Amino acid sequence: MVCSVSICAGEIFELKAELNSDKKEKKKEAVKKVIASMTVGKDVSALFPDVVNCMQTDNLELKKLVYLYLMNYAKSQPDMAIMAVNTFVKDCEDANPLIRALAVRTMGCIRVDKITEYLCEPLRKCLKDEDPYVRKTAAVCVAKLHDINAQLVEDQGFLDTLKDLISDSNPMVVANAVAALSEIAESHPNSNLLDLNPQSINKLLTALNECTEWGQIFILDCLANYTPRDDRESQSICERVTPRLSHANSAVVLSAVKVLMKFMEMLPKDLDYYSTLLKKLAPPLVTLLSAEPELQYVALRNINLIVQKRPEILKHEMKVFFVKYNDPIYVKLEKLDIMIRLASQANIAQVLAELKEYATEVDVDFVRKAVRAIGRCAIKVEQSAERCVSTLLDLIQTKVNYVVQEAIVVIKDIFRKYPNKYESVIATLCENLDSLDEPEARAAMIWIVGEYAERIDNADELLESFLEGFHDESTQVQLQLLTAIVKLFLKKPTETQELVQQVLSLATQDSDNPDLRDRGYIYWRLLSTDPVAAKEVVLAEKPLISEETDLIEPTLLEELICHIGTLASVYHKPPSAFVEGSRGVMHKRLPARTGSGESTESPDVGAAGGSAPEAAPSIIPSQGDLLGDLLNLDMAPPTTSGPPPPSTGMQMGGMDLLGGGLDSLVGISHSVDPYAMGAGFGAAPAVMPASLNAPVGGGLGDLFDLGGVGMPMGAYIPPKIVWLPAMKAKGLEISGTFARRAGVIQMELILTNKAMSVMTDFAIQFNRNSFGLAPAGPLQVLTPLGPNQTIEVSLPLSTVGPVMKMDPLNNLQVAVKNNIDVFYFSCQYPISMLFVEDGKMERQVFLATWKDIPNDNESQFQIKDCHLNSDAASSKLQGSNIFTIAKRTVEGQDMLYMSIKLSNGIWVLAELRVQAGNPNYTISLKCRAPEVSQCVFQCYEAVLKN
């Protein structure tokens, strides 16, 4: 429908005549008519020269109208647009600041490449204009120009001028400069444009108090990108941001919340200020709920994230999320979501009473969600289970079709959580068999019949009745029916032989669905080869289901917390999922707290992993395995909204699935497990096709998740990553990193018990490795680790252990034992922790050694996008025991000569070339053992970039 509205020639002709009229009023009226046609999408570009002719006027209103026209059509008539340049240049020198600003504002919107060059001079003047109104407009204009021609802006030095404006005396100029710089920086992710340091932060915080509400938003959003150096700085910023929580503008409040949520990560939890801050956050969040409904919606979507990250903030505020009869439906649904998250033993009675009320409302989606919520409450709060079940039964009695179906789906979950407790209701459920027409409800009912086949007299008849229309059922129901009949057969083999044969042949011979066929064959073979084993597999005890569902996967949650207030937080998707081009592709992360690991606190997503495409809407087993998946996980329909997986490289070594690590521990070289391999391939597409993920999706997704956490090589002291996920270790999760502190190498571990029982008797052992790393003492876990507890341990390491070359060189295989079992994992350490303190070589020795080492041993690397100057680089490297011995400057190029000594006495010599203004460094490494070069280079990169 683009410009499809036609305009007749006569009309154009008439307008043309009027535009060229001598009378000012007539001219103005004509331009108005042109703009009106433009608005509704009529093509009036034919009038371009006539309209531009009206530009030279002293009537401000007319001028603005002409400018409006210009912005719209300049692009389609680039040659004629040049006609306008002169006027712009002239207007930029006008005595009236309003006119100067108008000119500079408009000319940035003329997106014609040819013109941009002419505009640089006027813009430069306006950036230094005496009037703040002109300066603030010029600041935004730089961003406009950058959008048209980034190179031009850089070449003309506008970026530096823009940076200077951050120190402007006028707060609004500061705010606009910040907004412009933030936008430009977003399209250059690695540039150092927004060079935030304590001084510039201080300036921003000062301007924050004085500028308009919108300016405050720009500044706060910019602040949120800063990472304070330590907890003290972070506290002082928090203190200065907190007053914004009382601003009338909700966006200011939310942006302030974002800054606080982010910087809070860095504060030690035992600090008094930390708890004060937590308390201060609740009231403003609640106040957002009395805003207009659209804002309430944005606020609720954000509160949903905040509640997942820090449930303690709003735990006493349940009542404010009660649904009002007149709330728009989008507000109602969001409130309900948060109510479920906040439900606890303390408030369950109230919540249940509310939910029961909601279940009688009109809106179908809302009612369904309310019914589902009742089930969630039963699972979450054990004391309330009985009441919830009876409420659900009451609802089933209403016979309202969708209520019944929804209730059956949640009752299935309740059965799994409390086995052998509420089976008495099965009879009531069976009465409603005929009214079930949704796949999820049918599958749930079939599961119940299969699971309790021994207590339902006519289980075979019931299942048989479903079998009649087997091919018309959805995959979910088919899979479930297959499993249920096999269960029935194992429980009552005599009467149901015929039935099981029937279903197996339906599944294997008559079906095109590979999942169904595969599962059919597995059962068939199991049953025919070893019925006892079949019983053990199919009727195995099921893992417990977790209390929380629909939790956002922790790394995504962290990213979304950094995007509070923005669209990403409304969609609950990272910006890369809905923003095109380079903008917003950068993944933001929360800062790590010094000395403790936030990652282990992340909500238990257990086995199925939030990023697994199947993200079960009803149940996630907390400790599933592939078998568990086979049995139970096909309940969940695959949802399409799975977040795209992070794209960091996979790390095969870290993923010993089925005991591959054991072999390598006893000396056989490490082999890549075929399962891990498969996972690598399987997880490649962003969203797996639905048919693929049903049986093994959980396991695969999780594996991939692990790979995405990031290489430990990221930093000098790399951020802690999960080495051993809970699902691989019967509930024990280990994450950690390596550090060198005061000459001692330390392995810093966080152990989290995600199982239901207490863990004791921890011990640790390393496999032989390249540099002889070995624990220097026992693993100090003195107190037993209770369920859901976390402990941080620091293990000093020595380098006198047995040596065996590993591939990669810095691979370390670890065994951890506790009272439950022995677990294996492997990780990679940054080689920089092996650099010893006395690694500074004498100059002469250096020269001699450099010459002595054959040139074949020299390797060259490039370090890209590093913006330090040579001195800063040198001092930064020194912190990691990389010593600069000499510096030479040749033709503007700094050459730094450095030496490193490894703990096993190997010397590495380096030559680092830094050219001023070029962010790419060249590094040459020489060493008698050239295999370490690659690792050393990685350290350089990690140290310089962090």
Partner 1 sequence: MIGGLFIYNHKGEVLISRVYRDDIGRNAVDAFRVNVIHARQQVRSPVTNIARTSFFHVKRSNIWLAVVTKQNVNAAMVFEFLYKMCDVMASYFGKISEENIKNNFVLIYELLDEILDFGYPQNSETGSLKTFITQQGIKGQHQTKEEQSQITSQVTGQIGWRREGIKYRRNELFLDVLESVNLLMSPQGQVLSAHVSGRVVMKSYLSGMPECKFGMNDKIIIDKAGKGGVTNEAGKSTSGKQSIAIDDCTFNQCVRLSKFDSERSISFIPPDGEYELMRYRTTKDIILPFRVIPLVREVGRTKLEVKVVIKSNFKPSLLAQKIEVRIPTPLNTSGVQVICMKGKAKYKASENAIVWKIKRMAGMKESQISAEIELLPTNDKKKWARPPISMNFEVPFAPSGLKVRYLKVFESKLNYSDHDVIKWVRYIGRSGIYETRC
Question: Closest approach of Cβ 574 to partner 1, in Å?
Answer: 9
Closer of 274 and 330 to partner 1 (Cβ):
330
686 makes contact with partner 1 (CB under 8 A): no
- What DSSP string describes 494-543? HHHHHHHHHHHHHHHTS---HHHHHHHHHHHHHHHH-HHHHHHHHTPPPP
Task: Give residues 575-604 in contact with partner 1 (rule: CB under 8 A).
Answer: 575, 578-580, 583-584
Closer of 246 and 780 to partner 1 (Cβ):
246
Closer of 153 and 504 to partner 1 (Cβ):
153
Question: Closest approach of Cβ 570 to partner 1, in Å?
Answer: 5
Question: Closest approach of Cβ 406 to partner 1, in Å?
Answer: 15
Task: Give residues 211-230 in contact with partner 1 (rule: CB under 8 A).
Answer: 211-214, 217-218, 221
Question: Closest approach of Cβ 108 to partner 1, in Å?
Answer: 7
User: For the window 233-262, what string marks contact with partner 1 as x by the rule CB under 8 A?
Assistant: -------x-xxx-xxxxxx-xxx-------
Q: Which two tokens stand for residue 399?
A: 């016979």
361 makes contact with partner 1 (CB under 8 A): yes
From the list 287, 639, 789, 878, which residue makes contact with partner 1 (rule: CB under 8 A)? 287
Give the strand order in the sheet containing 790-798. 721-724, 732-741, 744-753, 790-798, 774-775
685: left (phi over 0), alpha (psi -120 to 50) or beta: beta
How far apart CA 432 and CA 454 sit, in angstroms, is 20
How far apart CA 687 and CA 615 sit, in angstroms, is 11
Task: Give residues 288-347 in contact with partner 1 (rule: CB under 8 A).
Answer: 290, 292-295, 297-299, 319-320, 322, 324-326, 329-330, 333
Task: Give residues 23-42 in contact with partner 1 (rule: CB under 8 A).
Answer: 28, 32, 35-36, 39-41
Number of residues that bind partner 1 (CB under 8 A): 116
Question: Closest approach of Cβ 714 to partner 1, in Å?
Answer: 24
Task: Give residues 627-656 in contact with partner 1 (rule: CB under 8 A).
Answer: none
Question: Closest approach of Cβ 45 to partner 1, in Å?
Answer: 13
Closer of 176 and 618 to partner 1 (Cβ):
176
Contacts (Cβ under 8 Å, ≥6 apart) of 552: 305, 308, 560, 572, 610
Sign of the CA dihedral with 820 first, then 821, 826, and 831 last: positive
Query: Considering only CA atoms, which of 587, 578, 584, 583 is closest in space to residue 558?
Result: 587
Query: Considering only CA atoms, which of 18, 10, 67, 80 is closest in space to residue 38?
Result: 67
From the list 539, 567, 626, 776, which residue makes contact with partner 1 (rule: CB under 8 A)? 567
Pairing assessment for the beta strands 732-741 and 721-724 based on DSSP bridges: antiparallel
558 makes contact with partner 1 (CB under 8 A): no
Question: Closest approach of Cβ 241 to partner 1, in Å?
Answer: 10
CA separation (Å) from 274 to 5, 231, 232, 253, 288? 60, 11, 12, 19, 22
Sign of the CA dihedral with 914 first, then 915, 919, and 922 last: negative
Backbone angles phi, psi at 945, to 5 degrees: -95, 5
DSSP 420: T
From the list 167, 192, 209, 671, which residue makes contact with partner 1 (rule: CB under 8 A)? 209
| Contact between 556 and 643 (Cβ < 8 Å) | yes
From the list 115, 119, 126, 172, which residue makes contact with partner 1 (rule: CB under 8 A)? 172
Angle at 486 between CA 483 and CA 492, to 5 degrees: 140
Q: Which two tokens stand for residue 773?
A: 């790393």
How far apart CA 576 and CA 583 sit, in angstroms, is 8
Closer of 70 and 750 to partner 1 (Cβ):
70
Task: Give residues 109-148 in contact with partner 1 (rule: CB under 8 A).
Answer: 109, 111, 131-134, 136-137, 140-141, 143-144, 147
From the list 269, 399, 525, 888, which residue makes contact with partner 1 (rule: CB under 8 A)? 399
Task: Give residues 905-944 in contact with partner 1 (rule: CB under 8 A).
Answer: none
Residue 102: its H or E element: helix 97-107
DSSP 663: H
Cα 865 to the chain's mean position, in Å? Answer: 24
Closer of 95 and 890 to partner 1 (Cβ):
95
| Contact between 168 and 186 (Cβ < 8 Å) | no
Closer of 365 and 871 to partner 1 (Cβ):
365
Question: Closest approach of Cβ 73 to partner 1, in Å?
Answer: 12
Closer of 183 and 625 to partner 1 (Cβ):
183
Query: b or e along 6-34 (b: 16 or more beta carbons within 10 Å of the residue's beta carbon)?
Result: ebeeeebeebbebbeeeeeeebbebbebb
Q: Which stretch binds partner 1 (CB under 8 A): 207-215, 511-519, 642-650, 711-719?
A: 207-215
276 makes contact with partner 1 (CB under 8 A): no
| Contact between 126 and 134 (Cβ < 8 Å) | yes
User: For the window 64-103, what string marks contact with partner 1 as x by the rule CB under 8 A?
Assistant: xx-xx---x----------------------xxxxx-x--
How far apart CA 633 and CA 635 sit, in angstroms, is 5
From the list 268, 283, 854, 892, which residue makes contact with partner 1 (rule: CB under 8 A)? 283
Closer of 211 and 791 to partner 1 (Cβ):
211
Closer of 159 and 759 to partner 1 (Cβ):
159
- Secondary structure class of 366 (helix, strand, coil): helix
Question: Closest approach of Cβ 295 to partner 1, in Å?
Answer: 5
Task: Give residues 48-67 in contact with partner 1 (rule: CB under 8 A).
Answer: 58-62, 64-65, 67
Question: Closest approach of Cβ 194 to partner 1, in Å?
Answer: 16
| Contact between 641 and 622 (Cβ < 8 Å) | no
895 makes contact with partner 1 (CB under 8 A): no
Closer of 467 and 577 to partner 1 (Cβ):
577
Closer of 412 and 572 to partner 1 (Cβ):
572
Question: Closest approach of Cβ 49 to partner 1, in Å?
Answer: 22
Closer of 126 and 727 to partner 1 (Cβ):
126
How far apart CA 373 and CA 416 sit, in angstroms, is 16
Angle at 64 between CA 62 and CA 66, to 5 degrees: 70
